[in-house]
Amino acid sequence: MASFRSVERENGGASSDENPYDRAMGPRPNLSVLDAARAVADTIQRFLGTNGSVPGARALARAARSMAVNIAEGSRTSGDVRDRCFCNARSFAAETREHWRLAFATEQLQPWVYWPIQHRLVTIVRTLDASIEE
């Protein structure tokens, strides 16, 4: 079966090469909760690599990594083990948010660095809450 994009191109429609988002940003990311958690952990790790004086830097890095690891583990399992991993990941996401907030409050972070990660962490927590409740 042909994809929507290939049918669109065959009929003379726009191709993905003509999409300004694709040209500017590259391919659209897979926006799963695991991808979001990994992106947060990677961003925090890069930030801490250049700013080691952040209060609670080790705890922040550990919580961000643990959040992603628990989501990955929970994604491979089911039932009570899955719920436990997602509960742990939710706790680590909340801990990451608190350490990230503290770094912002002590003026270690610029708003343009802080807010995208903060919003992503809120989304991760809400997604995990919904996954646990199911």
Instruction: Give dist(CA 116, CA 43) in Å, integer.
Output: 10
Do 69 and 7 lie in a common domain? no
Do 76 and 110 lie in a common domain? yes
Closest CA to 94 of 45, 43, 129, 46: 129
Do 59 and 83 lie in a common domain? yes
pLDDT tens for 54-85 read 888 999 999 999 999 999 999 888 889 999 99
Do 66 and 23 lie in a common domain? no
pTM: 0.73
- ∠ CA 126-50-61, nearest 5°, is 35
Residue 77: per-residue pLDDT: 86
Do 42 and 11 lie in a common domain? no
- Please give the residue range of the domain that contains residue 16: 1-29
The answer to whether the beta carbons of residues 119 and 84 sit under 8 Å apart is no
